[in-house]
Amino acid sequence: MASRREYFDAALKVLAEHGFTGLTVGALCRELGVTSGSFYHHFGSWPGFVAQLLAHWESRQPLSPPADFAVLMDRTLGLPHEAEAAIRAWARNDETVRAVQQRVDDARLRTVGKAVEGIVGDRALARTLTSLGLAVLVGHQQLAPAGRHGELTELLAEYTRLVHSRASGG
C-alpha cells in the first residue's frame, strides 16, 4: 500500500509528464503499482484527493522570508516546474485549483517581496521587482520544454543581479 506522500509525489510526476488531464485515479495507481482500493482507502474520493494534493503542494511553498535572497532563488530552481505548469493550466479550468494557485502566488509575492524590499529598501520598487521575478518564473515554466530548465538558472542569476543593482545605498 502506498502512503499519502507517495500518492502526492506520484501526482506531481503525472502532472509534470501528462498535464492535469492525465491525472486520474488509474494513472496514479499504475504509477504506484497499487489498486484503486488503496487510493479510495486513503482519500475516499477524487475531490478528497484533489483537496489533499493541493494542500500538500501549497504547504510546500515558502511561507516566511529567509534572510538570504539566494536561498529563495535556490528554492525556485528546485520547484517541480512541469507540475506547476500543469497546475496553472488546471487552474484555468477549475475554481478550487485556481483559488489554491492564487494563494500560492500571493504567498510567493509576499515572501520574495519581503526579501527584495530588504535589499532595495523601497516598497514600491520591491513590488515591481517581485512581480517581474514571478513573471520570469511563470513564463519560463510555460515556455520551457519539459526537463529543460537550465536557462532558468541564467534568468534567475540575471534577476538577482538586477535586484542587487537596485540595493538601497548602492
Statement to judge: residues 109 and 155 lie in one domain: yes
Classify burial at 7, counting beta carbons within 10 Å of its beta carbon; exposed 0-12, middle 13-18, buried 19 or more: buried
What is the residue type of 37?
A: G
pLDDT at 62: 61
Statement to judge: residues 167 and 86 lie in one domain: yes
Statement to judge: residues 51 and 68 lie in one domain: no
Residue for grid cell 510546500: 60
| Tens-place pLDDT, residues 103-140 | 999 999 998 998 999 889 899 999 999 999 999 999 99
Helix pair angle (95-120, 46-59), 10° resolution: 0
What is the reported pTM?
Answer: 0.78
Statement to judge: residues 148 and 117 lie in one domain: yes
What is the count of structural domains for the chain?
2
Q: Domain of 122?
A: 63-170
